[in-house]
Amino acid sequence: MLPKRKQLHLVDYDYSNTDAVYFITICTYNKKAYFKKTDIAEYIAKEIDYRSRVADEVTMFAYCIMPDHVHLLLKLNEGYGKSLPNWVAAFKKYNSRILTMMLDIKPLWQANYYKHIVRRNESLKNIAEYIANNPVRKNFVTQWQNYQFSRIYYDAF
Q: Read off the CATH number of the domain in which 48 is found.
A: 3.30.70.1290
pLDDT digits (tens, 9 = 90+) for 29-49: 999 999 999 999 999 999 999
CA pair distance 61, 71, nearest whole angstrom = 11
Please list the residues that pair with 118 across neighbouring strands.
Answer: none
* Strand boundaries in 28-90, DSSP class E: 58-65, 69-76
Percent of the chain clearing pLDDT 90 (strictly above): 82
Percent of the chain clearing pLDDT 70 (strictly above): 94
The stretch 122-129 carries a mean pLDDT of 95
If DSSP codes are grouped into helix, strand and coil, which group holds residue 13?
Answer: coil
Instruction: Determine, yes or no, domain membership for 6.
Output: no
Residue with the larger pLDDT of the pair 134 and 104: 134
Helix, strand and coil content of the chain, in percent to the nearest 5, comes to: 40, 20, 40
Whether residue 2 has pLDDT greater than 50: no
3-state SS, one letter per residue, for 128-141? HHHHHCHHHHCCCC
Going from the C-alpha of 42 to that of each of 66, 137, 156, the distances in angstroms are 11, 21, 21
Nearest to 71 by CA among 131, 135, 5, 137: 131
Instruction: Determine, yes or no, domain membership for 2.
Output: no
Q: How many domains does the chain have?
A: 1
Contact 70, 64 (CB under 8 A): yes
Instruction: Determine, yes or no, domain membership for 85.
Output: yes
pLDDT digits (tens, 9 = 90+) for 57-99: 999 999 999 999 999 999 999 999 999 999 999 999 999 999 9
For residue 25, give the H/E element and its range: strand 22-27
Contact 84, 49 (CB under 8 A): no
Instruction: Determine, yes or no, domain membership for 74.
Output: yes
Contact 150, 134 (CB under 8 A): yes
Instruction: Determine, yes or no, domain membership for 10.
Output: no
Instruction: Determine, yes or no, domain membership for 42.
Output: yes
Range of the domain at 51: 22-156
- pLDDT band at residue 10 under the 50/70/90 scheme: confident
Instruction: Determine, yes or no, domain membership for 14.
Output: no
Instruction: Determine, yes or no, domain membership for 8.
Output: no
